[in-house]
Amino acid sequence: MKIMAVCGSGLGSSFMMEMNIKKALKKLGIEAEVNHTDLASVTPNDADLFVMARDIADSSSISPDKIVVVKNLVSVAEFEEKLSAYFNR
């Protein structure tokens, strides 16, 4: 399983998201390869799952069923909640 954190510029925000995704996955007991990138560079084949904010998700070329949308990029609890919901569906 590959997960990609995506933000507008691909630097600070997506790296912070990557770290929070890793923390959430550890709490959930899920193993995955997690990376980060910017919206302009991302392609649908880069990962199995993409995590991004709503504004980015609305303008991405990624299929909505492969996207987890987060509101608070610093909330590990939200990442844990959203990822748990994705993996348990």
Tell me the sheet residues that pair with 3.
Answer: 34, 49
**pLDDT tens across 43-64, in order?**
999 999 999 998 899 889 899 9
Give the number of C-alpha atoms closer than 13 A to the C-alpha of residue 89, restricted to the C-beta side.
Answer: 8
Q: What is residue 82's predicted lDDT score, i.e. its pLDDT?
A: 97
Least confident of 3-12, 26-35, 37-46, 79-88: 3-12
In Å, how far from its chain's centre is CA 81? 12
Q: How far apart are CA 8 and CA 30, in angstroms?
A: 27
Q: What's this model's pTM, rounded to 2 decimal places? A: 0.94
Q: How far apart are CA 39 and CA 30, in angstroms?
A: 25
- Name the percent of the chain lying above pLDDT 70: 99
